[in-house]
Structure 1
Amino acid sequence: MPTKGFDTLIAGLHGLGGQRVWSLMISLFGDLAQAPKQHIDGPLLSAIMQGLRVKPEAARVALHRLRNDGWIISQKVGRISRHSLTDKGRAECIAANPRIYADPALSTGRWNLVLTEDTSAEQIAEMTQRGFAPLVPRVFVGPPDSDAPQGALVLSADHAPSWLRKQIAPQIHQTGYENLLVAISSVKPDLPAPEDMDAIDIAVLRCLVVHNWRRLVLKHPELPAPLVDPDGASHQCHLLVADLLARYPRPELSAIKRCHSAA
């Protein structure tokens, strides 16, 4: 379990909400044990979940759900259960990696503005599926390689005025990004140096950061870099998330196991 005092330090990350146990567990496996043949033994998983403030019965229910949904496979090895991602679970995590672990550096590039004939909810859902974000009714923005629907008016540009970037920002879960930005900004200055933290602490910290970031970025299409407000909450969040994940590298499962055995 996490070092005494560390749980209090990261309380802000725990308190963000949206901590469904099965989803939190996906974030954990996706960050720590995504590679083929990687697994997390039951006692080790229990220790990490305890650090994530998940009760044993809730963890068991989440594992049961993920097994039924084809995300996790559990095998008995002696008296210990060994849990790992299925091929389906691994494929889903790999598909999400480019968004979760993206480089936050902004660059230039082209983007498209699309005007559609239809204003229905079905049209908005279809445009979101195609990778476009809504701007105002019937108007969407997205990357140049996104497939606009037949009959739509498509305009291409290579820059965006600041007012447009600020107008787009509320469309992408701004409140969630603002809350995460406050939580990470409050935690970061007081975090110990990586060499002063044990592997379980780092695993818990990374899981909370990845999970809270993941549940925001995967809810909306990715905006082309010219449309991202560099001073907005989403980009400032991205900078902090990338910095924390780089500062506290993913611990090896063997190191977490040694840490747990020594506790």
Structure 2
Amino acid sequence: MTTTATRPGGPRRRAAISAKTLRTDRWWLPPLITVIGLGAWVAYATIRVFMHKWYWVEDFHYLTPFYSPCVTERCVPEAAHFGRFLPGWWIIPDAAMTLPFLLLFRLTCYYYRKAYYRAFWLSPPACAVPDGHKTYSGETRFPLVGQNLHRYAFYAAVIISLINTWDAVLAFRSPEGFGFGLGNVILVGNVVMLWAYTLSCHSCRHIAGGRLKHFSKHPVRYAFWTFISKLNVRHMQLAWITLGTLALTDFYVMALSAGWINDLRFIN
């Protein structure tokens, strides 16, 4: 099939191109890396969530974020900072009150939409590469209409970040009182990165100043909006960094709880 284009002097015929894309670079590599990275993280997190063990270090009050807050009857009493009010069935995660909201926050995140749309749904896999689907209705039908819940998931993520911050503060305890070790560095570092990712969210930026018509009349909100805008340009990097810090924090707590290693202590 050929197409025509109008020009002075008559129509001009275009060559028929059978190739789906003319890109000759390795456009498929970023989606492949995303599939491997996200797939590996989801597999690790799923296994850990349903292991129901090695999540608490009693001597130093280390609690992995994958089990925070621990609210099932199966939880160690000392790790259940907000009570144990859910049944201890295997199918129920110990952090069942927060994990669904964290999952929703990540799934509806603007960056993650791009990542898994391209990598898993091939919609499209890269610029100038045809979509893997014949039709596309946008985010107007189920299940993609749920992407509109991102702002509400952001509010939940803020509360969860506060809980993780409280866990990090409680971890500065040891049998002798105040204590400080490598575990504290990892827990605090993870919390800082989680706050950076949460605050760099596009919804947070819009809430801070997206609807203001006169920044000069709202200097505090403008300052906050400016700060968030600087974080926002790093939202993609922070999304991946926090996946790394979450896995590192969980693995370190697991290794301590299982007795594989000892915590490097600086004070007590």
Q: TM-score, normalised by structure 1?
A: 0.31
Structure with the largest fraction of strand = 1
Q: TM-score, normalised by structure 2?
A: 0.30
Q: Which protein is bigger by CA-based radius of gyration?
A: 2
- Point out which structure has higher relative CO (alpha carbons under 8 A, 6+ apart): 1
